[in-house]
Structure 1
Amino acid sequence: MRKFYVLLVAATLIGACTKQTTMTDEKKTYVPGTPTLSSDVMTPEVLWSFGRVGNTTLSPDGTMVLFAVTYYNKDENKGYRELYTVPVSGGDVSRITNTATNESEARWRPDGKKIGYLSSESGSVQLWEMNPDGTEAVQVTEIEGGISGFNYSPDLSKIFYIKAVKLDENVQDLFPDLPKANARLESDLMYRHWDSWHDYTYNHIFFAEYGNGKITSGKDILEGEKYDSPDKPFDGSEQVAWSPDSKSIVYSCKKLLGKAYAFSTNTDLYQYDLETGETRNLTEVHKGYDKNPVFSPDGNLLAWTSMERDGYESDQTRLFVMDMTTEKQVNYSAGWEQNAGHLSWGRNGNSIFFISDIHATEEIYRLDLADGKITRLTDGVHDYHSVVETADGKLLAEKVSMSQPAELYLVDPATGTDVPLTAINKGLMDQLTLGKVEKRWVKTVDDKDMLVWVIFPPHFDPSQKYPAILYCQGGPQGTVSQFWSYRWNFQQMAANGYIVVAPNRRGLPGFGMEWLEQISKDYGGLNIQDYLSAIDNVAKEPYVDENRLGAVGASYGGFSVNYLAGHHEGRFKAFISHCGIFNFEQQYVTTEEMWFEDWDIGGPYWDKTNQAAQRSYSFSPHLFVEKWDTPILVIHGEKDFRIPYTQGMGAFNAAVMRDIPAQFLFFPEENHWVVQPQNGILWQRVFKNWLDKWLK
């Protein structure tokens, strides 16, 4: 593995076409200068050197962009996030923070005169404000225990903030004479979620008067309710919306407990009236997810995303709009088979911009409310992750691809063309040679067309023969679009000297609902055949060595690898399974979000009368271990509660007991993902070493 050297230049922004300005000459944070690489081929160390752009917001007048960049310090094993601004018209990028703490939830105050953000500078996470140039930072809240989100009311008279409220009793509450007892006493489900045990608290929304000094308390609009809003573990302030008249708050919440919560996705939108204290359910007729409320500029309309079916978290994400006066709701996705996400209103209130997946890319669309017409605005080999209209009618969007990390762009809605607004990683990108990304259509066993991405090594020579790896996607209904990942990075895999085959097999969005939904209750069926069709197609190429093929994947992709291990008929010489399901029966009763397994598998294993479910359980990889004959690397995190780490242990132990070469890479502090810098680099090194050992 080639080495590279990093020159730490505190006052230099990565990006040759931008200028760096700072709050102070004193270095408090970690903003590295552009690394000088000794090779033009990607390495894990280079991958973890990219600045990660996010948290993008547009100023109220539509002329200035606020965004964050996170850099990771490998030696300290931590990340540093700082805030930046850039004019929509283009020009210098300015860094406006320089702290040892990580600013988050940064947003413009409605009058544009201040920027609010969360910081732990005072010891707990509180709301702070500063001028748009980063000067005169002042703490605004002093809420006991800290807060996790906030937003200003449009008239600047109030704020809402999000705070954890303890409502359940722990062992010490029940048995106060045993203060050192370390135990839990459970009587219902959802006692742990994603990577955390329930801590007896619930996310609640508070509102408080703003502008009269430091805020120390507020009114809990869910007082006494044992529900989370925003929902855990991933929802945030985007699930809470002020009405433009500042008289009400709309929030998403799943008002269910325990077992009922664990088997349902029925999240509704509720409107709380600040004056009367009354709450009403706006989406009671919908039984799936209702989330992401966004008011029109005049407050007459409310847009949100909605799923139809309870318990099906990969149902079509539809775009709904409600007239707040008549309460009439319109499904603008009716007759349209794509998903809608990242909603934002046009500045005139007559249109809604959003992101949707189509043929393995994420594109920008516009809904015109006058006629209900949905228009695709962009078309390319990329993924857009956000969109908002600027003052001059252009669209501010975050864009990535398999060949580029996130940067900000301005998109012309008339032509669909874009121009870069930031170039945070240009200094690194200019030194790298990336592999070609090719789109091909492959026939499936039932004569359908499947889109497959093929990523070639840098400096690809068609006269040589290369080993190839089949990438198995997770989800199972997660897209294989033009994403840029810091773990499953296709350019990093290709840079290791492999041709990467990434099929959009059955069960992925962007190809219609029939293609998406076929995978449910058919885990070992057509989608597995799709994998084999993809690798068989590419393996026929003269530049691929069909005797040096591997298969890799995580989550559902990890299950796919475990299943292929017993069904690949000698195609593969190496496997890597990360957080993969090994035993379906154990997975059904030990995961936390029970609705997912119940929907996709079809029901519990003890229901012998349920033929669809019994067929699903017949696909469990542990039933085919006697057919395993190929070296396998198993990776798992101890804090993975979605697919408990014992699934990985089972796969590894079974391989060893069968005398199959195997390794187990175990991360005690990681969850379903790998997020710490040194663990991430270790993951990449072990990943490469394992494939090199068996395929080179």
Structure 2
Amino acid sequence: MSLALAAALSQSIVPHVDLPPPQEDPCAGFEEAEGLSGIGQRAFTLDDQVRMADIGRANPVGAARAIGVAPDGEHIAFVVKRANPEANVYCQRLMIAAMDGSGAAVEVDRGGEFIRDDFRLRDFPAIMAGWDRPNPPRWSSDGSRIGYLKRLNGSTQVWLVDPDRTVPPRQATALPDNVDSFAWTNDGTALIVATRPGIRIQSEAIAREAAEGFLFDERFSPQFADRPIPTGQLETHYSYVSLADGEVWVASSEEARLLSGEAPEGLPARARAYAENDSGIAAWLEPSEPTRLISPTRLVVGWPDGNQIVCEQKACEGIRELWWSSDGTALLALQATGWANSQTAILRWELGEAQPRQILLTEDALVGCTVAGGELLCGREGFGQPRRLVAIDVVTGADRLIHDPNPRLEERTFGTVERLRFRNAFGPKAMRILSCHRTTRPGNVIP
């Protein structure tokens, strides 16, 4: 029995037919809608919500960077994804926009399947998630090419795109395993690529096992699958892919560090959000009560000579992400604060000051941020404002719009949103969101 047949039989408990992928371009309908004008105001509907364009991960908490900044600092690249319910697929477009917000964003590539992320749970190293894998476009050092992940025919690989669109997009890797992430070499002649061959190897073994039946053992988790799931530790493999001839070999330890992001030795075991500036000054979060499973954190800044300063004041509570300013003189932080952590703050800590100062406080979510020049580029969204790309001044906290992927929603009217703040029976602060949307029939309000 062939491997493919065994895999098919193992999943065919009842008769079924796989529908062929749609032949039409899933982005075409949206382009036509964007060209319409003069429709006038109308209520925001569930259909509008399903079709809303998005940039970066849907869940804003801990979302990875979603924007790639060109070496000259004048342009950014990002992937816009938009569900097409009629075709049951996503419209996905790689876009370039000017950093100053002038002109319309330009599409340089489109297509590909939705790339689902995965996560570790118990002894299962790769449970498929409902959100997408981080996919920030990465510019080559000379700005002549953009690399990003694209999934076709069930395989996720690196594709290269010419920002000027003089050369058609091309597939740069053809590895047997899905590419998790990648980085450019410093000279721009090759890519360092991360894969996990163990997923494929175990999955192939499970497919072969299907011919004789599965043993119901620790590899099963019925809420996720009706067949065994790969288990154990999965080693990440780092490969060097030459762009000149496509040759692939094992990356050196130095090359792998371009991608692995290994923190230096000496950090506490549970340290996270590590960030280092060009002078070697590092910052990280570490548990303030290491013996507790869920511990508050404290902010630590360390110098190459071993000196450290620690911020354990209330001003440093709730920090989730860290960056250094472009000149390396100030530490920037994203903080969850306010009632039940319902607000988002940006902090700035000048080296030499006693503690960080707050430069921005908002009830909006800031998603997938990255530093560019004197600004922090983020996706910003609120209850009545879909996600847009903004640049936040890292000194004043003032923001400006770079790109709105949903300009047509300016013509929609939204319902009211109210935050209900209360304490539960045990005392901790809690919050609920009450949203009311008026339908087209007067008098009907749906909470």
Native 8 Å contact 2:316 2:356 kept in 1: no
Query: CA–CA distance in 2 between the matches of 1:166 and 1:49?
Result: 36
Q: Indicate how the Cα distance of structure 1 residues 170 and 218 shifts in structure 2: closer, same or farther if over 3 A, else same.
A: closer
CA deviations on 1:192-215 (whole Å, 9 max, x unpaired) are 699466325725041426554314
Check if 1:346 corresponds to 2:325. Answer: yes
Cα displacement (A) at 1:186: 4.2
Q: Could you tell me which residue of structure 2 aligns to residue 106 of structure 1?
A: 137
The aligned counterpart of 1:423 is 404
Shift of 1:396: 1.9
- Of the three residues 366, 373, 379, the one matched with 2:361 is 379
- Equivalences for 1:263-662 in 2 at 5 Å? 270=263, 281-283=265-267, 285-286=268-269, 288=270, 290-296=271-277, 298=278, 300-307=280-287, 315-316=295-296, 318-323=298-303, 325-326=304-305, 330-332=309-311, 336=315, 338-359=317-338, 360-371=342-353, 373-391=355-373, 393-430=374-411, 432-439=412-419, 453-458=433-438, 497-499=445-447
Partner of 2:173: 141
Q: Aligned pair 1:182/2:213, yes or no?
A: yes
Change in CA separation of 1:318 and 1:140 when aligned onto 2, cut-off 3 Å: farther
| Cα pair 1:60 1:110 within 8 Å, conserved | yes
Q: Which digits, 9 at most, give the CA deviation of each residue in 1:411-436, with x for residues without a partner?
A: 23343232222122121232x22123
For residues 192 and 205 of structure 1, the distance between their equivalents in structure 2, rounded to whole angstroms, comes to 27
Deviations 1:513-538 (A, max 9, x none): xxxxxxxxxxxxxxxxxxxxxxxxxx
Question: Structure 2: any 5+ residue segments left out of the alignment?
Answer: 1-22, 57-65, 116-134
Q: How many residues align?
A: 383
Distance in structure 2 (CA, Å) of the matches to 1:148 and 1:446: 42
* Higher RCO (CA < 8 A, seq sep 6+): 2
Separation in structure 2 between the aligned mates of residue 127 and residue 100 of structure 1, nearest angstrom: 12
The aligned runs of 1:10-21 (5 Å cut-off) are: none
Q: Is the 8 A contact 2:108 2:162 kept in 1?
A: no
Q: Which residue of 1 aligns with 2:160?
A: 129
Shift of 1:51: 0.7
Note the C-alpha offset of 1:402: 0.9
Residue 115 (structure 1) aligned to one of 146, 151, 175: 146
From the superposition, tell whether residues 204 and 340 of structure 1 become closer, same or farther in structure 2 (CA, over 3 Å): same
In 2, Cα distance between equivalents of 1:60 and 1:361: 33
Q: 1:70 & 1:313 partners in 2: Cα distance?
A: 37
**How far did 1:375 drift?**
1.8
The two structures have a TM-score, normalised by structure 1, of 0.47
| 342 and 28 in structure 1: CA distance in 2 versus 1, 3 angstrom threshold | farther
Identify the residue that residue 44 of structure 2 maps to in structure 1: 42
Per-residue CA deviation, residues 82-117 of structure 1 (Å, 9 max, x unaligned), is 111111111221111133456844222233221111
Match of 1:84 in 2: 95
Mapped to 2, the partners of 1:72 and 1:175 lie a distance apart of 32
Return the alpha-carbon distance in structure 2 between the equivalents of residues 185 and 449 of structure 1: 44
Between the aligned partners of 2:383 and 2:356, the Cα distance in structure 1 is 27
- SS of 2:409's equivalent in the other structure is helix
1:306–1:109 Cα change, 3 Å: farther
Q: 1:72 aligns with which of 83, 102, 107?
A: 83
The answer as to whether partners of 1:457 and 1:497 remain within 8 angstroms in 2 is yes
CA separation of 1:247 and 1:50: change in aligned 2, threshold 3 A: closer
Q: Give, in angstroms, the shift of residue 304 of structure 1.
A: 4.0
Q: Which residue of 2 aligns with 1:204?
A: 236
Alpha-carbon separation, structure 1, partners of 2:50 and 2:164: 29
Contact 2:43 2:414 in 1 (8 A): yes
Contact 1:48 1:72 in 2 (8 A): yes
Q: 1:365 & 1:199 partners in 2: Cα distance?
A: 42
C-alpha distance in structure 1 between counterparts of 2:200 and 2:400, whole Å:
52
Give 1:74 shift: 0.5
Q: Is the 8 A contact 2:55 2:387 kept in 1?
A: yes
| Amino acid in the other structure paired with 1:301 | I
**Letter of the 1:95 counterpart:** E
- Normalised TM-score (structure 2): 0.70
Distance in 2 separating the partners of 1:332 and 1:446: 29
Kindly name which structure, 1 or 2, has the bigger radius of gyration based on alpha carbons: 1
Deviation at 1:47, TM superposition (A): 1.0
The 8 Å contact of residues 82 and 102 in structure 1, kept in 2 or not, is answered as no
